[in-house]
Amino acid sequence: MRIGDLSAATGASTRSLRYYEQQGLLASERSTGGQRHYPASAVERVGLIQSLLQAGLSSSTIHDVLPCISEEAIRTPWLAERLRTELNRVEVQLDALHRTRDILADLVEHYAV
């Protein structure tokens, strides 16, 4: 499938797909004319990449964990630990946001007209 087809199937922009490929997250084959061609499995892979990005993982972390997530045969305890580390990072951020929200709510309550 061509890059435009993959973009339409996943909702990812062609620019994003090129970026994923540049980062080593997605692979394509090139035609003699230089056009990218992706296998049908690329739709699922792009969906997984998008989910991991939405979860707040960096592209370098995604590069590290994607093979283990994609292929059950190579899953290791390292993957679970890496994902737990990311979850803990997000929980720390959430705690900080909750404290910020509480401070702002107090300010609104006391000073809003």
Does the domain spanning 1-74 belong to CATH 1.10.10.10?
Answer: no
pLDDT band at 12 (very low <50, low <70, confident <90, very high): very high
- Give 29's strand partners: 37
Whether the predicted pLDDT of 6 surpasses 90: yes
Domain range summary for the chain, segments of one domain joined by + = 1-74, 76-113
* Cα diameter, the chain: 68
pLDDT (tens digit, 9 = 90+) per residue, 59-110? 889 998 998 888 877 888 888 899 999 999 999 999 999 999 999 999 999 9
Please state the pTM of the whole predicted model. Answer: 0.79
Contact yes or no for 1/9 (Cβ under 8 A): yes
